[in-house]
Amino acid sequence: MKIQSTVAFLASALAAFARAQQVGTNQAEVHPVLQTQTCTKAGGCSTQNTKIVLDSNWRWLHQVGNYTACRDNSGNWDKSVCADGVSCAKNCAYEGVDYKASGITASGQTLSFELNKRLYLLEDDNNYKLFKLLNQEFSFDIDLSQAGCNSDAGIYFVEMDKTGGRSATNTAGATYGTGYCDAQCGEGAPFVNGAANLNANIGTCCTEMDILEGNSVSSSFTSHPCNKPGVHFCTTPQDCGDGNFHYQGTCDRDGFGINPWAMNNHTFYGPDASFTLDSSKPHTVVTQFITDDNTASGKLVEIKRFFVQNGKKIDHPNANWPGISPGTNSITDKSCAESKKVFNSVNDHAAKGGLATMGEALRRGLVLVFSSWTGQLDWLDGQIAGKDPNQPGGSMGPCPANGPVPTVAPVTFSNLRVGDFGTTTGLPSNPTPTPSTTKATTSAPTTKPTSAPTTAKPTTAPTTKTPTAKPTTAPTTAPTTAKPPATTSAPSSGTVGAYGQCGGSGYTGPTACIPGYTCHVYTQYYSQCIAN
């Protein structure tokens, strides 16, 4: 899907920065308030009225002055208004969002949303909130009880620009959810620095720290360092890490991550009380970023994970494969090296600077992202085709191959807190760097599923289209104990799934929604299936 850039196109793209994408006037952009907390040992927890904004790729992108889309549902630009990047930026506008109608609700400290969304946390209406996480812990509660096989609820940090790249060439900025980047260096962003990315061949790269990717049967956390700070725009296959140049790119696209199932622990995480952590019930996820001197100015040496459920602290399980040191249950450079060897994977994490490089990004500050998407996600929760499920890297979870893809899988995040160790959960915690002779962690697969790019071409209808995927997690072992919960089958060919388009001028698809949803008319140009 990625197209080689040429010198000629790069020149025209740079010239296109003369104008910015516009802002629509049909729907007011009112950001829902999602309260978050900052905690210290000295002062306890204070509450901030942070806000949520939907990514620009999920917005209605239409021609200025009318309701005609600038791109069709296949991502093809309308050349009558987008003959080049300059004219396209001048002629097209991002529209505001009706969050409630789009299945996104925030109340107090709780955020809930349905499938296929990407959201960011705002400090105020114009700027993303930057998190500086060295010598800090980040915690949140999550309910994944309705997210089964082939769904991925994500919460992660990326080194986006605080303003969303707002400038003279981008007037929308963070207010409209612009500026996304991640370690996959996806080339599908419709605009780059305010210029239309008409040939989808400018990628947006940045450091990515996946706090959680998972569902009710599988869960992982993954580090993806990049060897260039901030947002980097890649323009060649080598720089973006495309195809045969996978390990020559700016970022560690594979990442190094830990998945309990992948580490041969099949009874730890699952959707009933027989598992150590019962994912059918809400639980707290805590991630700690430990430095060598236990200060915010130190060097990152370990990323540690534990959980809390029913008031009880639950440590992450240790790796259970020969070749990985006993007691390994966190991300360190040593555990990465051991795991990559056991899983026969390229250690691109070390090549891109390892935890030291990740730590520098954490020092500069990262933006918080929420996402949800679906697909054939064997890299997250199933068996890897062509591999022995009883060997390292053969299975990611208990889900069957080619299982149904859910059309309904709501997820809820709540009680987001950042602060000193031990302050966000009320549990005592005073971590110190683990001795290098004992502590280690799990490994991630070296290749990502080609069917799930991180920034695939967005569509033109507002808030309803599928986000692009970002496989990042660690390989796993064969299913031995858990049975995956049933998932919802895809809608029939004559019905529209949750929050899909079901009408509007020029629309020729089905108009009936799946059970539990009604086709709601917004304007004569757009209707959407909304929950009853």
The catalytic site residues sit at: 208, 213
SS3 128: strand
Contact 461, 526 (CB under 8 A): yes
Q: Are strands 151-158 and 208-214 parallel, antiparallel or unpaired?
A: antiparallel
CA dihedral sign of residues 464, 470, 474, 479:
positive
**Cβ contacts of 83 within 8 Å, gap of 6 or more:** none
State CA 40 to chain mean position distance: 28
What's 380's DSSP letter?
H
Return d(Cα 306, Cα 475) in angstroms, integer. Answer: 20
Closest listed residue to residue 288, CA positions, set 269, 307, 310, 264: 307
**Cβ contacts of 273 within 8 Å, gap of 6 or more:** none
Angle at CA of residue 231, ends 226 and 232, nearest 5°? 75
Beta bridge partners of 6: none
CB neighbours (10 Å) of residue 108?
11
User: Which residue reads 């929604």 in tokens?
Assistant: 513
Q: Are strands 104-107 and 366-374 parallel, antiparallel or unpaired?
A: unpaired
Token code pair at residue 343: 């899983």
Return the beta strands (E) in 350-393 as ranges.
366-374
Return d(Cα 182, Cα 232) in angstroms, integer. Answer: 10
φ, ψ for residue 98, nearest 5 deg = -90, 100
CB neighbours (10 Å) of residue 84?
16
